[in-house]
Amino acid sequence: MPTMRRRLMGVLFLITASLIGSSMPSAAAPMPLSHWFDEQAAASFTVEDGRFVDGLGREVVLRGYNVSGETKLEENGGLPFASVADAEKSAAALRALGGGNSVRFLLSWAHAEPERGQIDHTYLAAVTAQMRAFLKVGIRVYPDFHQDLFSRHLFHKGSWYTGDGAPKWVVDAGGYPRESCGICLFWGQNITQNQAVTKPTYDFWHNTGGIQDAFLATAQTTMAYVAEHLTAAEFAGVVGFDPYNEPHAGTYDSGQSSRAWERELLWPFYEKFRARMDAAGWRDKPTFVEPNLFWNANLDFQKQEGGLLDAGRLGPRFVFNTHFYDQKAISGVFMWGKAKDGQYARDFGAVRDRAAGAETAAIVSEFGHPLSGTVSGKAPTVGKAMYQALDSRLPGSTWWSHPEDSGPVLSGSQWQWDIYNGRHHELMNGNPDKVRTEGDAWNDEDLSAIRLDDSGTPVLRQDARLLDRLYPSATAGRVLAFTYEDRSRDGSTTLTWNPVPASLPRVRELVGTGQYGVLLWRSDGSAAPTELHLPASFETSRTTVVSDLGTVHAPPPYDSTTPIAVAPEPRGTGSRRLLLTAQKAGGVHYALVTNGATAPSAALLKGAQNELAAWAEGRD
């Protein structure tokens, strides 16, 4: 809805709530939230003017992880977790350790519809209960019917590889050839080289035997079940649906290009899925549509034209949703060294440009790098460069000189968040002689940012400075530029790709060797604050903010009269946020946030403020 109308409805809501107060029955009481604006902010999530917005009209950035690749395995029946208790443990850790406010939540078609036309409501009940564990702690969710290599049932017990996705009855009905990828060094080569994968994939897009219709019917039933079995407040936290993971044609029709395939087969599928969402009660939630898997490959021989170029204007009913992995780095052949400052500026810039052309918001719903194996030494720099590219389209070396070219802050979900990493017991393709326990237990992947230690406590497998990041989770207005120097490490080396320039000596002194972020935004004049997630490394007593709103060391708790304050994130996970309230509409505001100073003097704060004011003047 238009911003003004939404604000008026918010005022009416607050007035009504104050009148009915405690007379409401306890069953209808909202879930506990921290401040006056939280409930209204969480009440809706839409796409407006090419960005995600919450119930207050604030610009939202989704950051988090994929939960969980466990769905691709059989050991827990296609569920992300063995129990709701495990889901709750994972959700709490994701918020407190990983700094996430959202998850891409994997679902399995094979387990939702194990027999044709027969929905397993026990599976739907279990997966909904596990999804609720994330919603309860304020984590937004977008489900994904996941597939890789179409189906595990295509692969024989002795195979080098496996898949996930379609049920056994689909494979049995197709009569597909025995799988063989030839000399395939990476599981992804099966997508184009294994006829046992390419043929059923082709059949799905052509609806051979009605298998696409069956999938759409199952998806509608699943979505209707979720909508009916979550409370209204919980369902508001479900922000959309990803219909199909990493779509590819399998094989193209004679004379058909990849772009034509997107236009003639993929986009019509998304329109059908959109209709199913509407019918299932998801009309107000966008569809997170993925283009051809290879549209943005960074290996020239893999790249294919695409990006839903012929779909026209997508927003607000559709979100441009894509993945990015550095196949050059993963190959170990095409990129020998490590990632550097600005490594992925062009790749992620292409995502921003394509979303802008489609007039919708964008999300990079998978990215990451292996954490074990021959190329794992690249992971610290690849991860830093990817997060840097999500934050800004500029390298650190030029950010301070041209922040107005920074571009929108991209939403993203890292692959992946699997608390069972290294502790699996997966019979690969049902083979008791091929029990997989290490890594992610799927095709030798190992990308999980989390694991459980011997006491069952979640611990990070990557540098916390890289994962638990400062980012503008909700901006009252529009972000003009953002950067974050996380000072994450590659072994014992601290990576600093965006040092404060020598032309800002007082700012440089204030930051020192600490982490820092800078936000430039144009306020909409709302009484609701702009929110930045505060990493655990930003203890309140060590956090300094220098802004046109004031200068503060150790910001105070939030109240409506305090322009710079700290508050807990909603739902009691222990994570915190910085709240910046700028009620003057139209002005450009700036804020530097750092943990680099223990007790900065008033003179240092004033000097840094003067430097930043001069630097920010005229930026737009």
Residue pair 608/506 in contact (Cβ under 8 Å)? The answer is yes
- Reported as a pLDDT band with limits 50, 70 and 90, residue 441 is very high
| Amino acid code (one letter) for 431 | N
- Reported as a pLDDT band with limits 50, 70 and 90, residue 33 is low
At 176-192, the pLDDT tens digits run 999 999 889 899 999 99
Three-class DSSP category at 269: helix
- Reported as a pLDDT band with limits 50, 70 and 90, residue 254 is very high
Helical H runs in 175-306? 190-193, 195-205, 211-229, 232-236, 258-261, 267-279
Three-class DSSP category at 577: strand
Q: Is the pLDDT confidence value at 495 over 70?
A: yes
Rounded-to-integer distance, Cα 373 and Cα 606, Å: 50
Q: Give 288-318 as a 3 state SS string.
A: EECCCCCCCCCCCCCCCCCCCCCCCCCCCCE
The residues with which 54 forms a beta bridge, in sequence order, are: 45
Residue with tokens 């630097």: 615
At 62-93, the pLDDT tens digits run 999 999 899 999 999 999 999 999 999 999 99
Alpha-carbon dihedral of residues 75, 79, 82, 84, nearest 10 degrees? 180
Closest Cα partner for 372 from 428, 466, 325, 439? Answer: 439
Rounded-to-integer distance, Cα 502 and Cα 430, Å: 61
- Reported as a pLDDT band with limits 50, 70 and 90, residue 492 is very high
Q: How far apart are the first and last CA of the chain?
A: 26
pTM of the full structure: 0.94
- Reported as a pLDDT band with limits 50, 70 and 90, residue 18 is very low
How many secondary structure helices (H) and strands (E) does the chain include?
19, 25
Rounded-to-integer distance, Cα 311 and Cα 454, Å: 50
User: In this predicted structure, which of 210-224, 313-327, 561-575 has the lowest mean pLDDT?
Assistant: 561-575
At 372-408, the pLDDT tens digits run 999 999 999 999 999 999 999 999 999 999 999 999 9
Long-range contacts of 404-409 (CB under 8 A, 24+ apart): 404/480, 404/481, 404/619, 404/620, 406/480, 406/481, 406/482, 406/483, 406/520, 407/349, 407/352, 408/50, 408/51, 408/352, 408/362, 408/479, 409/61, 409/471, 409/472, 409/479, 409/482
Q: How high is the mean pLDDT of the chain?
A: 94
At 100-127, the pLDDT tens digits run 999 999 999 999 999 999 999 999 999 9
pLDDT average, residue stretch 231-258: 98
Q: Is the pLDDT confidence value at 494 over 80?
A: yes
Rounded-to-integer distance, Cα 397 and Cα 315, Å: 33
What is the predicted pLDDT for the residue at 314? 95
DSSP codes joined into one string, 465-531: HHHS--EEEEESEEEEEEEEE---EETTEE--SSPPPTT-HHHHHHHTTS-EEEEEEEE---SSPEE
Closest Cα partner for 315 from 290, 274, 286? Answer: 286
